[in-house]
Amino acid sequence: MKTKHFCLIIALLCVSMAASAFGTLGHYITGQVAQNNLGSKQAERINAILNNATLPMVSNWADIQKSNPDFKETATWHYNNFESGLTRAEFDSLALTTDRGQNIYQTYQLIDRLQEQPSDTIALKMLIHLVEDLHCPMHFGRPTDRGGNDVPVLWFGNNSNLHSIWDTELIEAAKLSYSEYAEHLERQYDYSGEPFNKKMILDWAWANYQLAEQIYNDIELTTRPYHYMYKYRPLMEAQLHAGGNHLAMVLNSIYQ
Other CB atoms within 10 Å distance of the CB of residue 112: 12
* Structural domains for the chain: 22-68+81-254 (1.10.575.10)
Query: What does the alpha-carbon distance between residue 243 and residue 190 come to, in Å, rounded to a whole number?
Result: 13
pLDDT tens digits for 2-28? 444 434 333 333 333 333 333 799 999
> What does the pLDDT look like over 76-135, one tens digit per residue?
999 999 999 999 999 999 999 999 999 999 999 999 999 999 999 999 999 999 999 999
Collapsing DSSP to helix, strand or coil, 160 comes out as strand
Q: Which residues contact 139 (CB under 8 A, 6 or more apart)?
A: 78, 79, 80, 103, 133, 147, 208
